[in-house]
Amino acid sequence: MTRNISRNHSRGNKERPPRSVFLPGFITDEQIGLGDAIKRATSYLGIKPCGGCERRAAVLNRWMVLTGQRQS
């Protein structure tokens, strides 16, 4: 029998800041979440987002941020 423990519970419910990824020349000095970047790309291709897409974008935004500036 296995126990069903959520990830947040096993980590003590600590919210970690999103990881920052430096991509020179990809974006300007503004930060953009990974979910928002994927949303922009798919809408450009004509794919309409659904409710699930919005939830996944929010999770990806909390996980990773793309930036054009180096973090010091």
Q: pLDDT tens digits for 17-68?
A: 888 777 766 556 678 888 998 998 999 999 988 889 899 999 999 998 888 7
Say whether 32 sits in a helix, a strand or coil. Answer: strand
CA-to-CA distance for 20 and 36, rounded, in angstroms?
14
Does 59 fall in a domain? Answer: yes
Start-to-end CA distance of the chain, whole Å, equals: 47
Does 55 fall in a domain? Answer: yes
Which H or E run includes 22?
strand 19-22
Length of the chain: 72
Residue 47: give the domain boundaries. Answer: 36-72
Find the angle CA(30)-CA(34)-CA(37) to the nearest 5 degrees: 70
Say how many domains are in the chain. Answer: 1
Does 68 fall in a domain? Answer: yes
Does 11 fall in a domain? Answer: no
Does 23 fall in a domain? Answer: no
In this prediction the pTM is 0.63
